[in-house]
Amino acid sequence: MPTRKLKNTDHIYERLSDDGRLTSYQVKIRRKGFPNQTGSFDDLEEAKSFVRQVLRDHDRGHKVDRLISHRKTVADVINGGIAVLESGKRKIKGVKEELYRLNAFKRNYPVLMGTPLSDATEDIFEDWIEHRLETVKPNTVLRDFNMLKPLFAKAVRTYDLRRSPLEYIKPPREIDERPRRLLDEEEELLFAELHAAGDTIVPLAAQFALESGCRRSEQLRVEWRHYDRKTSTIWLPDAKNGRGRYLLLNELAQDIVEALPGREEGGEIFKCSSNQLKKAFEYARTRAAKRAEALGRPDLKSVETFRWHDLRHEAVSRCFDAGWTSEQVMDFSGHVDIKSLLRYRSAKVDQSVARLRTLERDRSAGQPTIRTAALTARLPGGRASL
């Protein structure tokens, strides 16, 4: 494509089509000892601004490649994130999962991946979020967003971006707390089906999770060498939050550990895979729901919605039911802040009502206040609500 030098300038050229029409402006800055700067701009003022910026860099002795963001694409950012994970330079929890998600991002959004970083605006990523929300839940998009955000924050420094395109985007989120408790009859049905399946490790692992409040990923990493029979603890050096912690074992949890084979060989205490536990648990809860229907108990079909991680929620909630303080429950569950802990607390409604009735009886035992007496007189049968 032919070019001609723009009048009254030293570094800007007009790019012309074959029929002589102006298509864009080309900047060429070559100076000994500094990187060559060559790029195209649609806007003349943008080209002039770029020339001024580069010349200021030269005057200060800065050897900065100001056009790197035009040559690099979103794919370079994602590939860089994949490379540091595969090399081990960046160590995080769930490396395999994050690598899978980064590769899926590359595979599913080829147009976005080919976008130059100079053109990767907030609007482009907001469109990506809207497209993603058509197929997945908001918190899934939030996890993807949180995965990408540090990569582009680093790209700001690496590729001389003015700012990250994700910096001011507010990602979607939804409240996903599960006020789910395991009813006694649900527990009986579920574990009966787990035992009936014939795979002895699965019901033991599920019972251990219910007694210890241990996450499945952590449970499958605990090793015999970290088990201390005398103190009834298992040291977990690699917990989810990156800190080591002790698993506190009650008598039943310790009995389960003692009953498991393989102590002489060492290694993991629970010698099974995450998928093995997940699939066996899902099959068992489905059969438990069918069993409840066959018994004429449609109210217990809800056992089919009980997830493995709900075992941890139930374990934490039972600690609160027993009257433990928040600090004591945090020692048990391994949470490091109260906000995260309280997401796991689901009080049983009947117990909450019982405590309310106890408060009512305690108040009734004393002299009723003027306000209580007045309210009692207005209610049918002379009974106050509190």
Structural domain boundaries of the chain?
3-66, 74-158, 184-342
Phi, psi of 310 (to 5 degrees): -65, -20
pLDDT tens digits, residue range 316-341? 999 988 889 999 999 999 888 888 88
Class of domain 184-342: mainly alpha
Strands (E), the chain: 3-5, 12-16, 22-29, 37-41, 227-228, 233-236, 245-248
Nearest to 210 by CA among 187, 242, 238: 187
Q: Where are the beta strands (DSSP E) in 123-248?
A: 227-228, 233-236, 245-248
Beta carbons within 8 Å of 172's beta carbon, 6+ residues apart: 129, 133, 138, 139, 141, 142
**From CA 319, how far away is CA 330, in angstroms rounded?**
10
Instruction: Note the Cα 5 to chain centre separation in Å.
Output: 54
Rounded Cα–Cα distance for residues 223 and 380 (Å): 64
Residue 385 has a pLDDT of 44
Convert the pLDDT of each residue in 52-66 to its tens digit: 877 887 777 766 666
Q: What's the predicted TM-score (pTM) here?
A: 0.62
pLDDT by 10s per residue, the chain, length 386: 678 888 878 888 888 888 878 888 888 888 888 877 777 778 888 888 878 877 887 777 766 666 677 778 999 999 999 999 999 888 777 788 899 999 999 999 999 999 989 888 999 999 999 999 999 999 899 999 999 999 999 999 888 788 899 999 999 887 666 678 899 999 999 999 999 988 899 999 999 999 999 999 899 999 999 999 999 999 998 777 667 889 999 999 999 999 999 898 999 999 999 999 999 999 999 999 999 999 999 999 999 999 999 999 999 999 988 889 999 999 999 888 888 888 777 766 666 677 677 777 776 666 555 545 555 565 565 554 44
